[in-house]
Amino acid sequence: MVQNKFSPPDSGITPSAASRFNLRQVENILYEHSGVDEVTVLCIADDESEKKNIVAFIVPREPGMTEEGIFKYLEQSGQLEIEQLPGEVRFVPRIPKSPSGKVLKMKLLEGCVRRD
């Protein structure tokens, strides 16, 4: 797991940084990346510290995409404040959805093996 270099690992995410607007804004910026096929951004609790963390789940369009590359892309976009950047990026083969197209968050979290 690559930690966001802009926020210390022991800092909590403020409620305003985890707002739905911010999550959607991060998603929209990531959709502009040519190597991203699909993305969803969630605010999830860390099991150990019980603090919230913004996590971007990405289905890459091409192999070789890295977490460092995503963080650099977000930083260079100039559209986010430092505290709005995700604390973690996870690459997944697909994002589970309901028949109506809504992201099945629990299935996504269950199927995602945490990399440390």
Task: Say if 34 falls within a structural domain.
Answer: yes
Task: Say if 74 falls within a structural domain.
Answer: yes
Task: Say if 85 falls within a structural domain.
Answer: yes
Task: Say if 62 falls within a structural domain.
Answer: yes
Domain count for the chain: 1
Task: Say if 6 falls within a structural domain.
Answer: no
Query: Which residue range(s) make up the domain with 64?
Result: 15-94
- C-alpha distances in angstroms, 45 versus 12, 38, 64, 65, 99? 10, 22, 28, 25, 27
Task: Say if 112 falls within a structural domain.
Answer: no
For 77-88, the pLDDT digits (tens) are 989 888 888 989
Non-local (6+) Cβ contacts of 62 within 8 A are: 35
The pTM (predicted TM-score) of the whole model is 0.76
Local structure of residue 42 (DSSP, 8 states): E
CATH of the domain at 49: 3.30.300.30
For 11-54, the pLDDT digits (tens) are 444 444 446 668 899 999 999 999 999 999 998 876 676 677 88
Strand ranges (E), the chain: 36-45, 52-60, 88-91
Task: Say if 3 falls within a structural domain.
Answer: no
